[in-house]
Amino acid sequence: MKIYKFFEFIARMGQIIRWSLMRNVRQEDLKQHSFDVAVLAHALATIRTIYFSGTLDPNAAAVYALYHDTAEVFTGDIPTPIKFFGGGVVKSIVSQLEGLAINKMVGSLPDKLQPAYRAVFTIPLAYKDLIKAADRISALQKCREELAFGNPEFAPALARLQDLLEHSELPEVKYFMDNFISDRPMTLDELIEGNGAWLLDGGLG
């Protein structure tokens, strides 16, 4: 019996470490990042639909986000500064490599499944800005966490991302930043508001 390799490739997302050129208090892998971006993309599409008369499908946005960096199981996480060496020449090469990687992964599926999975690797134009914004918010959250742990290495990246998000033309991004991004990550005690007393207040005592 032939064993198709697609989900073996997907499993290796957990081996790809992000922010590799920087000192990290806590390492972040590609699998963690993809989950975060999927949650954020779903949220942004939902906000657009409910508050700004948008028509994007939040579930589709989440799936595109889950797969948006999957090609990195072949290329690794190439830091943004490296991609723009040589006036963008490296970025062009990386894009070609990512296309080859996607072809390899899609080709590792049964023939009848290949069209459905190729579709999730191809982000429609209408979703691209939203997925990019979700990716940036995820990176912003990572930078905030590192700074909260006393790691100044991420301060320049935080400033750059903050500026990009504050000047986003997407209304759902402004809504998210105004309503869901605090000045620092919250502690567990802040999140549960009363060290668990709310469980008793809810009638579980």
Say if 150 falls within a structural domain.
yes
Say if 103 falls within a structural domain.
yes
Single pTM value for the model:
0.90
pLDDT at res. 90: 82
Say if 39 falls within a structural domain.
yes
pLDDT at res. 135: 98
Euclidean distance between CA atoms 38 and 77, whole angstroms? 18
* Whether residue 11 has pLDDT greater than 50: yes
Task: Tell me the pLDDT of the chain averaged across its residues.
Answer: 92
Q: What is the DSSP letter of 202?
A: I
**Degrees, nearest 5: CA angle 19-7-98:** 50
| pLDDT one-digit tens code per residue, 22-48 | 999 999 999 999 999 999 999 999 999
Euclidean distance between CA atoms 66 and 35, whole angstroms? 6
User: Minimal CA–CA distance to 22: which of 148, 170, 142, 115?
Assistant: 142
Q: What is the mean pLDDT of residues 70-97?
A: 84
The confidence band for 204, taking pLDDT boundaries of 50, 70 and 90, is: low
Total domains in the fold of the chain: 1
Say if 36 falls within a structural domain.
yes
pLDDT at res. 200: 63
Say if 60 falls within a structural domain.
yes
**Degrees, nearest 5: CA angle 107-113-118:** 60
The confidence band for 82, taking pLDDT boundaries of 50, 70 and 90, is: confident
Say if 27 falls within a structural domain.
yes
pLDDT at res. 183: 80
pLDDT at res. 191: 81
User: Minimal CA–CA distance to 140: which of 16, 19, 17, 13?
Assistant: 19
Q: What is the CATH number of the domain that holds 149?
A: 1.10.3210.10
Say if 45 falls within a structural domain.
yes
Say how many Å lie between the first and final Cα of the chain, rounded: 55
The confidence band for 83, taking pLDDT boundaries of 50, 70 and 90, is: confident
* Whether residue 152 has pLDDT greater than 90: yes
Q: At what angle do helices 58-67 and 114-121 cross, to 10 degrees?
A: 90
Say if 1 falls within a structural domain.
no
Q: What is the mean pLDDT of residues 71-87?
A: 83
Decide: 49 and 58 in contact? Cβ < 8 Å: yes
| pLDDT one-digit tens code per residue, 176-200 | 999 999 888 888 878 877 666 666 6
Give the structural domain span for 191.
6-204
Euclidean distance between CA atoms 126 and 149, whole angstroms? 37
Contacts of 28-32 with C-beta under 8 Å, sequence gap 24+, read 28/142, 30/69, 30/70, 30/72, 30/73, 30/77
- Bridge partners of 17, per DSSP, are 29
The confidence band for 205, taking pLDDT boundaries of 50, 70 and 90, is: very low
